[in-house]
Amino acid sequence: MKKTAIAFWVLIGAFLGGCSALEGASNTLTYATEVTEFANEATIFAKDTPALAKQAVSDKEAAAELEASLQVMKTNIEEFNELEPPEMAANLHQQVMNQNNKALDGIDLYLNNIKDGTLDPAVLENNEAFKSLGEIKNIVDQIRELVGQ
C-alpha cells in the first residue's frame, strides 16, 4: 500500500513538473511572438513617421494622423514594457526597454509640440524616438534567435 501511494505521488509530481516545463515553453513562444509583432510595428513606425512629421509642420490632417500614430506607438511601447520575458531573454528585454524609454521621451516631445493643429518645426531636429525604435530590430533578432524562433 505504501509503495502504491509513493508511486502515485511520484507520478503526480512528474506530471506537474512536465506541465511546468510545457507552460514555460508556451510562455517562451508567446513572448517571442509578441516581441516579433512589436518589432514589426516599431520598424514600420520608425520608417514611416519621420516623413509624416515633416508633413505635419504645415498640414493639419497630417498632424492629426501623426498624433494618432504617436499615441498608438506609445501604447504599444507601454504594453511591451509590461511583458514578462523568459529568464533567458531578460537581459535583451531590458535593452529593448531602455530603447523604448528613449523613444517614449521622443514621442512625448512630439505630442507636446503639436499646437494649433500642426507640429512645431523646431521639434523635427529631435528624432531620437525614430532612431531608438529602429535599433530595436537588432535586439529583437537576438531574442528570437535565443528563444529559437
Q: Where are the domains of the chain?
A: 31-146
Task: Supply the pTM of this predicted model.
Answer: 0.75
- The string of pLDDT tens digits covering residues 70-86 is 999 999 999 999 999 99
- The string of pLDDT tens digits covering residues 98-115 is 999 999 999 999 999 988
Residues 6+ apart with CB under 8 A from 106: 126, 127, 128, 129, 130, 132
Per-residue pLDDT at 64 = 95
- How far, in whole angstroms, is CA 76 from its chain's centroid? 6
CATH tag for 31-146 (out of 2.60.40, 1.20.1440, 1.10.10, 3.30.70): 1.20.1440
Per-residue pLDDT at 84 = 92
| Residues lower than pLDDT 50 in the chain | 1-25
Do the Cβ atoms of 137 and 76 come closer than 8 Å?
no
Per-residue pLDDT at 149 = 61
